[in-house]
Amino acid sequence: MDNSDKIAMVERYVEAFAQGDVNIIRGMYAEDAVVEDPVGSEPHRGLEAICAFYAGALGAGAKLKLTGPARCAGNAVAFPFQVLMPGMQMDVIDVFEFAADGKISSMKAYWGPDNMQTES
Protein backbone atom coordinates (compact mmCIF):
# COMPACT_ATOMS: atom_id res chain seq x y z
CA MET A 1 0.00 0.00 0.00
CA ASP A 2 1.60 3.25 -1.05
CA ASN A 3 1.16 6.65 0.55
CA SER A 4 -1.40 7.83 -1.99
CA ASP A 5 -3.62 4.85 -1.06
CA LYS A 6 -3.33 5.71 2.64
CA ILE A 7 -4.22 9.34 1.99
CA ALA A 8 -7.17 8.23 -0.17
CA MET A 9 -8.46 6.25 2.84
CA VAL A 10 -8.30 9.39 4.98
CA GLU A 11 -10.28 11.27 2.33
CA ARG A 12 -12.81 8.41 2.16
CA TYR A 13 -13.19 8.56 5.95
CA VAL A 14 -14.02 12.27 5.81
CA GLU A 15 -16.44 11.55 2.95
CA ALA A 16 -18.23 8.89 5.06
CA PHE A 17 -18.98 11.55 7.68
CA ALA A 18 -19.98 14.13 5.06
CA GLN A 19 -22.49 11.65 3.64
CA GLY A 20 -23.48 10.16 7.00
CA ASP A 21 -22.92 6.70 5.47
CA VAL A 22 -21.86 3.88 7.80
CA ASN A 23 -21.56 1.56 4.78
CA ILE A 24 -18.53 3.53 3.62
CA ILE A 25 -17.00 2.91 7.05
CA ARG A 26 -17.92 -0.79 6.83
CA GLY A 27 -15.99 -1.09 3.58
CA MET A 28 -12.86 0.51 5.04
CA TYR A 29 -12.32 -1.75 8.06
CA ALA A 30 -11.08 -5.34 8.33
CA GLU A 31 -13.46 -7.87 9.93
CA ASP A 32 -11.22 -8.16 13.01
CA ALA A 33 -10.25 -4.49 13.27
CA VAL A 34 -9.96 -2.62 16.58
CA VAL A 35 -10.99 1.00 17.19
CA GLU A 36 -9.80 2.84 20.33
CA ASP A 37 -11.54 6.22 20.45
CA PRO A 38 -10.19 7.92 22.47
CA VAL A 39 -6.96 6.12 23.33
CA GLY A 40 -7.32 4.71 26.84
CA SER A 41 -11.02 3.89 26.46
CA GLU A 42 -12.48 0.41 25.98
CA PRO A 43 -11.73 -0.65 22.37
CA HIS A 44 -14.43 -1.57 19.87
CA ARG A 45 -13.46 -4.98 18.47
CA GLY A 46 -14.74 -6.42 15.22
CA LEU A 47 -16.61 -4.91 12.31
CA GLU A 48 -20.10 -4.98 13.84
CA ALA A 49 -19.00 -3.24 17.06
CA ILE A 50 -17.07 -0.67 15.03
CA CYS A 51 -20.04 0.05 12.76
CA ALA A 52 -22.32 0.46 15.78
CA PHE A 53 -19.85 2.96 17.25
CA TYR A 54 -19.72 4.97 14.02
CA ALA A 55 -23.50 4.80 13.56
CA GLY A 56 -23.80 6.70 16.84
CA ALA A 57 -21.39 9.42 15.72
CA LEU A 58 -23.00 9.73 12.30
CA GLY A 59 -26.46 9.80 13.87
CA ALA A 60 -25.37 12.69 16.10
CA GLY A 61 -24.50 14.69 12.98
CA ALA A 62 -20.70 14.62 13.37
CA LYS A 63 -18.75 16.02 10.41
CA LEU A 64 -14.98 16.02 9.94
CA LYS A 65 -12.70 18.78 8.67
CA LEU A 66 -9.04 18.06 7.99
CA THR A 67 -6.79 20.64 9.68
CA GLY A 68 -3.43 19.60 8.25
CA PRO A 69 -1.75 17.10 5.95
CA ALA A 70 -1.72 13.36 6.58
CA ARG A 71 1.59 11.83 7.66
CA CYS A 72 2.46 8.38 6.31
CA ALA A 73 5.00 5.97 7.80
CA GLY A 74 5.28 2.21 7.54
CA ASN A 75 1.83 0.65 7.32
CA ALA A 76 0.15 3.65 8.99
CA VAL A 77 -1.19 7.14 8.40
CA ALA A 78 -1.81 9.86 11.03
CA PHE A 79 -3.95 12.89 10.35
CA PRO A 80 -5.24 15.92 12.27
CA PHE A 81 -8.85 17.02 11.98
CA GLN A 82 -11.75 18.61 13.79
CA VAL A 83 -14.99 16.88 14.66
CA LEU A 84 -17.79 19.38 14.15
CA MET A 85 -21.14 18.84 15.84
CA PRO A 86 -23.95 21.19 16.78
CA GLY A 87 -22.70 23.22 19.73
CA MET A 88 -19.18 21.78 19.87
CA GLN A 89 -15.96 21.07 18.07
CA MET A 90 -13.07 18.83 18.96
CA ASP A 91 -9.46 18.63 17.74
CA VAL A 92 -8.36 15.04 17.09
CA ILE A 93 -5.47 13.10 15.60
CA ASP A 94 -6.34 9.65 14.24
CA VAL A 95 -3.88 6.92 13.34
CA PHE A 96 -4.92 4.17 10.93
CA GLU A 97 -2.84 1.00 10.63
CA PHE A 98 -3.50 -1.11 7.56
CA ALA A 99 -3.65 -4.84 6.97
CA ALA A 100 -1.98 -6.44 3.96
CA ASP A 101 -5.28 -6.22 2.02
CA GLY A 102 -5.39 -2.42 2.44
CA LYS A 103 -8.22 -2.36 4.97
CA ILE A 104 -7.87 -0.62 8.33
CA SER A 105 -6.81 -3.09 11.02
CA SER A 106 -6.47 -0.53 13.82
CA MET A 107 -7.64 3.01 14.46
CA LYS A 108 -6.54 5.04 17.46
CA ALA A 109 -7.99 8.48 18.14
CA TYR A 110 -5.95 10.90 20.23
CA TRP A 111 -8.04 13.52 22.01
CA GLY A 112 -9.15 14.45 25.49
CA PRO A 113 -11.29 16.99 27.36
CA ASP A 114 -8.74 19.76 26.66
CA ASN A 115 -9.38 19.32 22.93
CA MET A 116 -13.12 20.03 23.12
CA GLN A 117 -14.73 23.43 22.73
CA THR A 118 -18.41 24.08 23.26
CA GLU A 119 -20.49 27.00 22.08
CA SER A 120 -22.52 28.80 24.72
Catalytic residues, by residue number, are 13, 37
Interacting residues of 58 by C-beta distance below 8 A, sequence separation 6+: 16, 17, 20, 21, 22
DSSP letter, residue 93 = E
In this structure, how many other beta carbons lie within 10 angstroms of the beta carbon of residue 44?
A: 20
What are the φ/ψ torsions at residue 22 (nearest 5 degrees)?
-70, -20
SS3 content of the chain, % helix, strand, coil (to 5): 35, 40, 25
- From CA 87, how far away is CA 60, in angstroms rounded? 11
